[in-house]
Amino acid sequence: MAIWLTVFFVVLALGVPVAFTLGLVGIGMLLSSDRMSLDVLPTVIFGGMDSFPLLAIPLFIMAGDLLARSQMLDQMIGFAKALVGPLPGGLAHVNIGSSMLFGGVTGVAVADTAAVGSTLVPAMVKEGYKPGFAAAITAASSVMGAIIPPSVAMLIIVYIYGGGLSVGKLFLAGAVPGILIGLALMLTVAIMAPLRGFPRGQGSWSLSEILREFRGAALGLMVPVIVIGGIIGGWFTATEAGAIAVAYSLLVGTLILRKLTLSDIGAALLTSAKMSGVVFILLATAKLIAWLLVLNGIPQSLAAALEPLVSSPQAFLVGTVVLLLLLGMVMEGVAAMIMVVPILAPMAVRFGVDPHHLALVVVMTVQVALITPPVALGLFIVAPFAGCSLKEASIEVVPLIAAIASIILLVVFVPDVAMWLPEALGY
């Protein structure tokens, strides 16, 4: 096994995409085995993608893209400005607030980064924020996009976990931690504002303005209400919720706001296909690796080896966080999650870790990969909007990573912070 692990990291270092690296290693393991044949390859790989719940992924991506093309993001930014704009460091707070609101619509952190970054980063630089900080705060706040429900990353982990997870419960478990991350980032900005001389927010609070901006943003904010409410109420599954979100987005964009054109709808379909296609290829090849690992008893052997070193469920979760943070420095977060969850899930049972607690900690941690160099996909996306180097953004993002990590550790050691909401609603 050590040989194949070495092969994996060597091939990855050569620049081969993670999905194809996993596939090459899996085929190599099959060829070198006396017990298995290549005949199982099509069945196992197709099995990694052949799932009705996975249809929710392209649907949620498309719903978020349609709302973005309907200029709903502008309405949400206006609402965020009315709520937090007057604070010291106003535009930085607006950036965080917009990501919090938009994250509840898209469910995809990368989409959040690109949409909010293209709109707010140039405005922040123009107002006097350092380009590196404008890029860093945008990428860091987009982490909430995959934690505040609905969340594509949560749909993925429910599938790869292999049973025992409820989409509704996991969605609800992510709501409070996602909001806490936003508040932690705002607190960090508030501490930095007088030290760094951030521009003061413009204007003052006005209840009438807040209500006016809320009315404009309400159509977009209805998406998480419809999705979460429908799943919790048992009216539809997560996949059906994705279809309803797409239908709602089309209705709002074409008949109410009248911003969507046929070309916009076609572009949203293409974006959804491209983004979900990457995920499905990863799921397919990761399924092969997971099947081979389980067949060889690797998770059980690792659990037995680690048992003397792991004294509590929290210790196991801290180890998981450290592992995922390290992997996130060299690969994209979702890829790391797909690769390690089939190993961690069986081990978690042995150490008494609640499956939903583990899944939430994994989803929260892998999002940090968006802002941890050298990969740092979120920083790569947003740095051109700010006109700064990756190095400048990487330096500025350090205190923001610390703020996010503090909430992850809070969820690790005080699980009730996350789990009280689903429990209160009957899960």
Domain assignment present for residue 276? The answer is yes
Domain assignment present for residue 219? The answer is yes
For the chain, give the percent of residues with pLDDT over 70. 94
CA gap 109, 378 in Å, rounded: 8
Domain assignment present for residue 369? The answer is yes
Kindly report the pTM of this predicted structure. 0.84
Domain assignment present for residue 9? The answer is no
User: 392 vs 380, which has greater pLDDT?
Assistant: 392
Average pLDDT over residues 355-380: 87
Task: Evaluate whether 108 touches 64 at the Cβ level (below 8 Å).
Answer: yes
pLDDT attached to residue 357: 94
CA gap 254, 259 in Å, rounded: 6
Domain assignment present for residue 87? The answer is yes
Domain assignment present for residue 354? The answer is yes
Average per-residue pLDDT for the chain: 83
CA gap 421, 25 in Å, rounded: 41
Tens-digit pLDDT profile for residues 28-58: 888 777 776 777 778 878 877 777 777 888 8
pLDDT attached to residue 419: 92
The parent domain of residue 386 ranges over 17-424
Tens-digit pLDDT profile for residues 299-353: 667 767 777 777 788 989 998 998 888 888 877 777 788 878 888 888 888 888 9
**CA neighbor of 99 nearest in space, from 189, 203, 204, 211:** 189
Torsion, CA 6, CA 7, CA 10, CA 16, rounded to 10? -140
Total structural domains within the chain: 1
Domain assignment present for residue 5? The answer is no
Domain assignment present for residue 409? The answer is yes
